[in-house]
Amino acid sequence: MEQIKTSFDFEKPIAELMQQIEKVKQVADKTKVDMSATLIELEDKLSKTQNALYTNLTGWQEVQLSRHPERPQTLDYISMICDDFIELHGDRTVKDDKAIIGGFATIDGQTVMIIGHQKGKNTKERQYRNFGMANPEGYRKALRLMRLAEKFNKPVISFIDTMGAYPGIEAEERGQGEAIARNLLEMSILKVPIVCFIVGEGASGGALGIGIGDKVYMLEHTWYSVISPESCSSILWRSWDYKERAAECLKLTSNDMYRNQLIDGIIKEPLGGAHQNPVVMGETLKAQILKDLKELGKEKTDKMIATRIDKFCSMGVVNE
């Protein structure tokens, strides 16, 4: 694991051990004293602390990791996974929503349509991308690109990372609910394979708007829920102070979602999160994409669509 640049409160033991290791190395370089035994002891302690911490995270801690400022976003994965990428713009009705990006790309020579949320990495970028919260035109752009992929018989890959669809008055006036609902309908019957990845936050309809697929995966330290812990806390307890409790109650982690059969699998992240080794994370996603596209490519279209519909229709159904 690299030196932690941004750490959360629960990562303090790891950050402190890393600082100790760095100081010992500096002393060894300066004094030319053999400190190898001390380094081995500290590194062993660090390894044990990391494994114990990251394998027993609470729901709220998983939410915090999913929001890490250095965590890879859609454009990062595109640059790591794809041989090339041609971004396409606009919904042909209102404007080009910068919170959702999409376009044709090639992965090991195979052409795909990639669509995903983009939050931005700094204040200027986040304002430009509206913090990854899409307006109706963003979902209509995504639908236009999916129909284009269907026309040319190319599979769709989606990367989900949003705090939710933009809740502004102007978004509601332009039909936010209808745009998302239309995407749910159209994606369920799209005649090409769809593979979805929650790579950060997966909040509410904002995530579902590009989240209907033959395969839906969550990265290990991500969350997927109808509402964020803060919003849930503010509704139930009239305060954000209970967000940790809300996160536990919502059962929003990747393990919870897989246990409840709401996703198809969990993608393992590098120790400490995807931001600790983006290259390895990109390689892992690429391998999973190629594997799924090969399998889905063998299925007949009618059967693929029927399986996709059955999968989502069976969610939440209880047989007594």
The CATH number of residue 186's host domain is: 3.90.226.10
Confidence check: pLDDT of 307 > 70 = yes
Helices and strands: H and E segment counts in the chain: 14, 8
pLDDT over 90 percentage in the chain: 80
Round the average pLDDT of the chain to a whole number and report it.
93
pLDDT for position 260:
92
Q: Which residue has the tokens 């799924």?
A: 292
Q: Is the domain of 77 the same as that of 224?
A: yes
Confidence check: pLDDT of 2 > 60 = no
Average pLDDT over residues 92-106: 96
pLDDT over 70 percentage in the chain: 98
pLDDT for position 183:
97
Q: Is the domain of 35 the same as that of 173?
A: no
pLDDT for position 317:
78
Residues forming beta bridges with residue 219, ordered by sequence position: 267
Please indicate, yes or no, whether the overall pTM of this predicted structure exceeds 0.85.
yes
Total number of domains in the chain: 2
pLDDT for position 4:
52
pLDDT for position 81:
96
Q: Is the domain of 24 the same as that of 160?
A: no
The closest alpha carbon to 183, from 224, 213, 152, belongs to: 213
Domain span holding position 51: 9-56
Confidence check: pLDDT of 123 > 50 = yes
261 is a domain residue: yes
Confidence check: pLDDT of 31 > 90 = no
pLDDT for position 114:
98
3 is a domain residue: no
pLDDT for position 1:
47
User: β-pairing, 223-225 with 215-219?
Assistant: unpaired
**Distance set, CA 165 to CA 42, 72, 210 (Å):** 45, 20, 11
Q: Is the domain of 76 the same as that of 99?
A: yes
Confidence check: pLDDT of 226 > 80 = yes
Q: Is the domain of 172 the same as that of 201?
A: yes
**What is the b/e burial string over 235-257, where b = at least 16 CB atoms within 10 angstroms of the residue's CB?**
eeeeeeebbebbbeebbbbbebb
Q: Is the domain of 85 the same as that of 51?
A: no
Start-to-end CA distance of the chain, whole Å, equals 48
Q: Which residues 6+ apart lie within 8 Å of 198 measured at CB?
A: 160, 161, 207, 211, 216, 217, 218, 219, 222, 223, 224, 254, 263
pLDDT band at 244 (very low <50, low <70, confident <90, very high): very high
Q: Which residues 6+ apart lie within 8 Å of 186 measured at CB?
A: 143, 146, 147
Q: Is the domain of 33 the same as that of 83?
A: no
49 is a domain residue: yes
Q: Is the domain of 172 the same as that of 92?
A: yes
Q: Is the domain of 143 the same as that of 254?
A: yes
pLDDT for position 6:
57
Q: Is the domain of 183 the same as that of 305?
A: yes
Look at residues 40, 56, 72 and tell me which one is the last residue of a structural domain: 56
4 is a domain residue: no
| pLDDT tens-place string over residues 185-207 | 999 999 999 999 999 999 989 99
320 is a domain residue: no
167 is a domain residue: yes
Q: Is the domain of 32 the same as that of 161?
A: no
1 is a domain residue: no
CA distance 187 to 211: 8
CA distance 83 to 157: 15
27 is a domain residue: yes
- Judge whether 273 and 84 are in contact, CB under 8 Å: no
Q: Which residues 6+ apart lie within 8 Å of 152 measured at CB?
A: 111
Q: Is the domain of 31 the same as that of 119?
A: no
pLDDT for position 5:
55
Confidence check: pLDDT of 103 > 50 = yes
